[in-house]
A and B are shown apart, each in its own frame.
Chain A
Amino acid sequence: MKTNKFLLSLFAATALFVGCADDDTADVTINNGGGEIVNPTSNVIGGTLTEDLELVTGVEYSLESALIVPEGFTLTINPGVVVRASTGSDVYVAVLQGGTINAEGTSSNPIVFTSNSSTPNPGDWGGLIVLGRAPINSVVNGGSSTSEIGQLPYGGSDAADDSGIIRYVRIEYSGGAADAASENNGFSFYGVGNGTTIEFIQAFEGADDGVEFFGGTVNASNISVVGSQDDSIDWTEGFTGTLTDVYVEHRQSHDKGIEGDGFNTDIGNNSNPVFWSAPTINNLTIVGLGSSNETEAIRLRAGTRAVFTNVLIDGFEEAYDLDDDETGVGVLNGDTSVTDVTFTDVILNLKNDTNATFTDADFFTGIGNGTGTDYPSWSSGWTRN
């Protein structure tokens, strides 16, 4: 045999190798019927502010890219303003450390952020992100971290940090995935300080958490989360604020009513002296889909402390699920407790996976005395159902 035949057979072989793999893939034709997108007929907003911005009543705004409020600038939103966001998880409003948001709606004229789609879905856009300089426990005291979404800095040593006012604001259809492992929330509060005012806010039909606190000291009241597909209220990284009058209502797709972590378990509790998330929650109502649905209302993990007063839990298989040893330590030394609680259609009041030994009676005081928040008294006029 002649050697130079090898080259020929070599090339022939290569063709043969390739030919052995299948391809019977059909073509795809995009038949876009049109009318899907609401065309922006009004002011377009987005980008990084280089001067203060005021969104005025009567104008419908179109948010087409991330709107960033940097340090030293103020975003003012007047009552009744509607912001329609384009589709995409990188479409969000972020108030950076030192930036200010003054979003003051009224009960009859709330501020609404929603999707610009005519058939809106949870996860259409990114939501509202506020980043402050209050303490977080994922870094050494006074240090800052960067957010899960958008890699923005947050955290510091100013417990009284003031990011502005958020009042009568509703966020709809937010929570788009930022990457394959993390999603935006409705309201994301990163290291927000208690100089900030947060009251009368609603997250409606979001794809991830409704309201999430990453550390910080901010107090918030009159919080409504309806139809959140993940946890309705979530805290981690050493959140220590007070939440008053909280209403959570699950829809068909959901995860926990509350998921509280003492620290970020991917990073660790780096605070010194050490502190954990330890919020106070007064007047809480969580409405689930019934005890037959294998669901949990509240999960406390990773060493979080929490003091609950006046709680109503309706329609869950488990009401409280406590995980991790450090979480049990919080119960034993009295940092975590529940006073005045009522369980309706709940199979198991307490699931203790913490290795600490305590009884239902050690954890709950005044079972049957809880009435929850008086939602109708503060929800009318500005919330959606």
Chain B
Amino acid sequence: MKHFFFLTIVLFSLASFAQENGTISGTLTDKESADGQPLPFASVIIKGSTQGSTSDFDGNYIINNVVPGTYTLVISFVGYETKEVANVVVVSGQTTTVNEIIGASAAQLEEVIVQGTSSKRESVQALLVEQQNAVVQKQSIGAVDLSNKGVSNAAVAVTKISGISKQEGGGNVYVRGLGDRYQNTTYNGLPLPSNNIDKKNLDLGLFSSDVIQNIGVSKTYAANFYGDFAAGNVDIKSKEHSGDAFIDVDLGTTINTGSVGENFVKSEGTGFFGFYNRYQNNPFAVILSHGVDPIASDGTTGLSGSISGGKSWDIGEESKLSLFATTSFGSNYEYRRGQAANYTLLANTIYPDSEEFEYSRTTTALANIVYRINGDHKIKFNSLFINDATDEIGFFGIGGNGQNRNAILNTDRGFFTQNNQFEQDMIYVNQITGTSRLNEKIKIDYGVGYNKVLARQPDRKRVTLERYDLALDNDPSTNPTLFSNVVFDNQRYFQNIDDDEINGRVNVNYKSSENLSFNFGYNGRSKKRSFDNQRFGYDIIEPNTEVTDVNNFDAIFNADNLGTVFNTSVFRPLEGLGTENLPGQLENTYEGELNIHAVYADAVYKYGEKWTFSPGLRIEQFNQEISYDVINLAFNNPGSNEASETFFLPSLNIKYALKDDQNLRLSVSRTVSNPEFKEVAPFVYENVVDRIGGNPDLLNDPAFSSIINVDLKYEWFFERGQIFSLAAFAKQINDPVNLVSANDATGTQRFFRTGDKAEVFGLELEARKALLLDTEEESLLSAGMNITYTHTNQDLKDVTGTFNTNFDRDSDELQGASPFLINADVSYTPTFGNYKPKANLVFSYFSDRIDALGSGQLSNIVEKGVPTLDFVWKNNIGENIELNLSTKNLLNPTIERIRENTVDGDVALSSYKRGVNIGLQFKYKF
């Protein structure tokens, strides 16, 4: 690769004084890539001579100093047809342009796949070339690397990129240690919705590797990104078909060491594939018809399976239609055991021993159709459906040791809660994207998308007992009793979120000269959210009602006991009716609307051989509205808030090529951070041991955080597929938003603009090196590592408004930021004849970070650092069969959230181990 660049640069240099002869140049396009990708590394030779060139990453080639005359060009690339172009006329002092589309040679295609040298932007070295050439600092991981590293989904994938950490037990990732709020996720360059009310970004774990072409993370800003950008943008490119028709089938099983031997339970009424069939019923009918007890699940072995297929049809000489479709299903069991607590300044509720049974199912279906009209025009339809469902059954306070400060009978022991919930998130993404090259100079990229999210939490059941210890004492004459301080201590809960979004983008690229090009573009999105919930409390009629069998709450909470043992109660009765033993109105509702329209322009200017400048400006019109009707707000609360802003967001990216293989990059930009619907809607979600709500004041002036970003990076591509880079970054975030324990009587956590500014400084180191090469100079043993250190500091101030908060200190770290992130991996890929196993050991670590700032005298809630070690072993047996073994979370660390520095020291609010996941997969290629 180094040689290639050297050659290219030499040829470019020659071009400036080789005027007496002529020049042949042009662009090669890959017919197999569905979106008209350029074909890099192809050889272009003048037939009968030794004169020629190689196409660069953009598919461009140039042959200088050609004696005038008529020639035939021979274009070749491994695995592709060798194409001869006759009658190429070269005139003195002029450039002859020859653009060609090169298709795969059917006979040799298999060889290409086997050798893994596909030209698609999937391989490590191809992506490193892209990283080297891009003006914007961007890192990507492609399908080949995903497969080699045994990466199962996008969330794991991005942790292979420096400065990224994954939240343990969830698919949410943190770029450069900054939180969810400071990053974006896009799919084919268009915004992706979140599946979780608590998050801005979608759970990347929902994207299985099978549907990913590549994932790119951009950590510096460019004008074509939405202005809501601080830490980075994650873009997932959906898989497209190229080459021969194929069908893959795989089947697998997963075992979680923590779950084996447990009597696993799940919610009643949820299906094998994670669907639920009672949404159309009134919730009151559901609670009368169905009980509260969990049921046994079928074993503890997770299953997985998928079918994918693709086929392409040539239409005429130039056109091609490609279809790719995949559907997959996976289930997983996880058992967690440990402490759960609500601890503020003192212990409110502590369950020293709790267990949770999590049974999750994911179904993914993706189809895309790519119609490549010719080398210049391409259009693609892309449709994605994800169903992500999780049953979670929690028994808090097993062993009879639960304590509740407000218990009635005994505050020291026997407090117990059973929480039985199911969540189903259905995500539909439909996109049409396309590319058109109008002429030599103008290329248009465009896309429109429609996203829909249905996030449901139907029928969460919560039962609370006092004196649970009496259920364990083998004395049938003493029994626990139902705790009923508030009527909602025992309750059923139903929640619905609907999101709709329409978005679009168009970019016009104008190539003014070899050294200067411009982009002009628009992107916009219009998103709506509708939220509602209903809740039914069980008002226990007899005080201290005894429970004779803690495994049979259905004996109490059944329709026959309505009005005799309990009354149901709602917050908001139906018009003219009472709150008891009747359906009710929706308890909390909110509607959110977000409209963003932006135009931008940037330029890429190459000055000399070493400098590339890319200045850009984005003008973004932002409007966000929230209207809500939620319980327990001040009588004079307006029930809505709105903000409209126009942002001017300049950016400058500079690349300086120190040497052929070394770059120095500088990036400076202004961006913003806008609040999410869930942060501005004052609805409070009540977990078993904590409560989290939004704050509409975030849309008061200032309604956004203004951010200045500066990045400086040195990178050295010292060998093919190997890199060393060091980056320093600094950010100033004005008016940052943090999650804070609010200053009200319930200790609810809410979002506040807690200070005037936060400062962020960091260093990022990345190295990837081949440690051993085989006889063919291919990597045998290689290692990669990246380390990020981030220092954050923000000032803190008192906040008054709809909700208030104050602090006993002037400054603290930024919520959600981890000072240290480490990712490391070792790959061993030996060859034993036809047996080519791939073994990967992958390690990642993030250090302690603030989960919520403590207000008043409260100390912070801290998410403790977690190391993760995975081992993946892939075995290709012959041409058709793959047998893969994966062992994940080998270190099995304790996952812990604590309230630090209390009078009782650090107190675990949650603490558990996830167990080691061992998976075996059998894959067959037809």
CA distance A267 to B805 in the complex (A): 10
CA distance A17 to B282 in the complex (A): 23
CA distance A24 to B290 in the complex (A): 9
Which residue from B365, B387, B539, B573 sits with its C-beta under 8 Å from A87?
A: B573
Which residue from B365, B486, B542, B579 sits with its C-beta under 8 Å from A88?
A: B579
Which residue from B410, B537, B577, B634 sits with its C-beta under 8 Å from A151?
A: B634
Q: Does B247 contact A (CB under 8 A)?
A: yes
Q: Does A37 contact B (CB under 8 A)?
A: yes
* Contact assessment for A182 and B743 in the assembled complex, using a CB-CB cutoff below 8 Å: no
Q: How far is the CB of A309 from chain B (nearest CB, A)?
A: 27
* Contact assessment for A264 and B745 in the assembled complex, using a CB-CB cutoff below 8 Å: yes
Q: Which chain A residues in 105-142 approach chain B with CB under 8 Å?
A: 117, 121, 123, 138-140
CA distance A24 to B273 in the complex (A): 18
* Contact assessment for B365 and A266 in the assembled complex, using a CB-CB cutoff below 8 Å: no
CA distance A297 to B18 in the complex (A): 102
Q: How far is the CB of A341 from chain B (nearest CB, A)?
A: 23
Q: How far is the CB of A146 from chain B (nearest CB, A)?
A: 6
* Contact assessment for A7 and B367 in the assembled complex, using a CB-CB cutoff below 8 Å: yes
* Contact assessment for B309 and A152 in the assembled complex, using a CB-CB cutoff below 8 Å: no
Which residue from B288, B535, B574, B631 sits with its C-beta under 8 Å from A178?
A: B631
Contact pattern, B 385-398, Cβ under 8 Å of A = 1, otherwise 0: 10100000000000
Closest A residue to B410 by CB, please name it. Answer: A294
Which residue from A6, A22, A266 sits with its C-beta under 8 Å from B745?
A: A266
CA distance A18 to B363 in the complex (A): 11
Closest B residue to A140 by CB, please name it. Answer: B806
Contact (A151, B269) CB under 8 Å given A13-B327, A28-B282, A117-B578: no
* Contact assessment for A139 and B806 in the assembled complex, using a CB-CB cutoff below 8 Å: yes
Q: How far is the CB of A89 from chain B (nearest CB, A)?
A: 7
Q: Does A361 contact B (CB under 8 A)?
A: no
Contact (A25, B806) CB under 8 Å given A87-B573, A179-B632: no
Q: Does A219 contact B (CB under 8 A)?
A: no
Q: Which chain A residues in 243-266 approach chain B with CB under 8 Å?
A: 252-255, 264-266
Contact (A265, B273) CB under 8 Å given A10-B365, A36-B578, A179-B684: no
Q: Does B439 contact A (CB under 8 A)?
A: no
Which residue from B247, B286, B578, B808 sits with its C-beta under 8 Å from A3?
A: B247
Contact (A267, B743) CB under 8 Å given A1-B926, A10-B325, A89-B571: yes
Contacts of B802 in A (CB 8 A): 151
* Contact assessment for A270 and B806 in the assembled complex, using a CB-CB cutoff below 8 Å: yes
Which residue from A19, A24, A325 sits with its C-beta under 8 Å from B289?
A: A24
* Contact assessment for B271 and A20 in the assembled complex, using a CB-CB cutoff below 8 Å: yes
Q: How far is the CB of A34 from chain B (nearest CB, A)?
A: 10
Contact pattern, A 353-380, Cβ under 8 Å of B = 1, otherwise 0: 0000000000000000000000000000
Which of B101-109, B147-155, B343-351, B825-833 lies on the face that meets chain A? B343-351
Q: Which chain A residues in 9-65 approach chain B with CB under 8 Å?
A: 9-10, 13-14, 16-28, 30, 32, 36-37, 48
Q: Does B284 contact A (CB under 8 A)?
A: yes
Q: Does B333 contact A (CB under 8 A)?
A: no
CA distance A90 to B411 in the complex (A): 31
Which residue from A48, A88, A177, A267 sits with its C-beta under 8 Å from B537?
A: A177
Chain A CB within 10 Å, residue with most, of B576, B577, B747, B806 = B806
* Contact assessment for A145 and B632 in the assembled complex, using a CB-CB cutoff below 8 Å: no
Q: Does B16 contact A (CB under 8 A)?
A: no
Q: Does B352 contact A (CB under 8 A)?
A: no
CA distance A66 to B803 in the complex (A): 20
Which residue from A23, A123, A138, A140 sits with its C-beta under 8 Å from B277?
A: A23
Q: Does A224 contact B (CB under 8 A)?
A: no
Q: Does B701 contact A (CB under 8 A)?
A: no
Q: Does A172 contact B (CB under 8 A)?
A: no
Q: Does A150 contact B (CB under 8 A)?
A: yes
* Contact assessment for A268 and B856 in the assembled complex, using a CB-CB cutoff below 8 Å: yes
CA distance A148 to B634 in the complex (A): 10
* Contact assessment for B634 and A146 in the assembled complex, using a CB-CB cutoff below 8 Å: yes
* Contact assessment for A148 and B745 in the assembled complex, using a CB-CB cutoff below 8 Å: yes
- How many of chain B's residues touch chain A, expressed as a range? 35 or more
* Contact assessment for A180 and B486 in the assembled complex, using a CB-CB cutoff below 8 Å: yes
Q: Does A77 contact B (CB under 8 A)?
A: no
Closest B residue to A252 by CB, please name it. Answer: B543
Q: Which chain B residues in 336-382 approach chain A with CB under 8 Å?
A: 344-346, 348, 363, 365, 367
* Contact assessment for A21 and B269 in the assembled complex, using a CB-CB cutoff below 8 Å: yes
* Contact assessment for A4 and B323 in the assembled complex, using a CB-CB cutoff below 8 Å: yes
Contacts of B268 in A (CB 8 A): 22
Contacts of A178 in B (CB 8 A): 631-632
Q: Does A94 contact B (CB under 8 A)?
A: yes
* Contact assessment for A151 and B637 in the assembled complex, using a CB-CB cutoff below 8 Å: yes
* Contact assessment for B857 and A268 in the assembled complex, using a CB-CB cutoff below 8 Å: yes
Closest A residue to B541 by CB, please name it. Answer: A253
CA distance A139 to B800 in the complex (A): 12
Contact (A182, B281) CB under 8 Å given A25-B290, A324-B346: no
CA distance A66 to B409 in the complex (A): 34
Contact pattern, B 269-297, Cβ under 8 Å of A = 1, otherwise 0: 11111111110011011101110000000
Q: How far is the CB of B201 from chain A (nearest CB, A)?
A: 26
9 A–B pairs (Cβ distance < 8 Å), ordered by A: A1-B247, A18-B275, A88-B579, A117-B578, A179-B488, A179-B632, A179-B686, A179-B746, A267-B345
- Residues of A bordering B, CB below 8 Å: 1-4, 6-7, 9-10, 13-14, 16-28, 30, 32, 36-37, 48, 66, 68, 87-90, 94, 117, 121, 123, 138-140, 143-152, 176-183, 207-208, 214, 230, 252-255, 264-270, 294-295, 301-302, 323-325
Beyond A23-B269, A177-B488, 11 additional pairs, beta carbon < 8 A? A4-B323, A9-B327, A18-B273, A25-B286, A88-B572, A117-B578, A145-B804, A265-B344, A266-B858, A302-B346, A323-B411
3 A-B pairs with least C-beta separation: A268-B857, A21-B271, A266-B747
